[in-house]
Amino acid sequence: MNDKQHFEITVSDLRLLGQQGGATAFLDDGTKIELKPNFCIEKRTGFIGGDAAEVSLTISYAKIYRKIRTIKRHQTLVARRVKCNGKEILQSTGRGYTRSKISSN
């Protein structure tokens, strides 16, 4: 983790990826979710009025963070869950996303 390109992805990073657009995450169970600025969207088939339709479920980042296995942005693998010092973390791959620096004025 000493390499500056590889860092732990946080909930703030997920929100930033959602703002930038084109980011999707895959969960442990294989579910695909879209990252948005304030929440995640999972698309499922549901029944509305007896008819099958596609339903969008909104999920908070706090509830879904531990279940994320990989994150892609425009077909580029941005992060994956890896074991580091006996615990699993969501680590960046060094491609497709850089954490923006906050300037203190």
* Per-position DSSP letters for 10-36, written without gaps between them: -HHHHHHHHHH--EEEEETTS-EEEE-
For the segment 42-83, what is each residue's pLDDT rounded down to a tens digit? Answer: 999 888 888 999 999 999 999 999 999 999 999 999 999 999
Percent helix / strand / coil, the chain, rounded to 5:
15, 45, 35
89 - beta bridge partners? 82
Angle (nearest 5°) at CA 43 between 69 and 75: 50
pTM of the model: 0.82
Identify which of 34, 38, 19, 23 has the alpha carbon closest to the alpha carbon of residue 92.
23
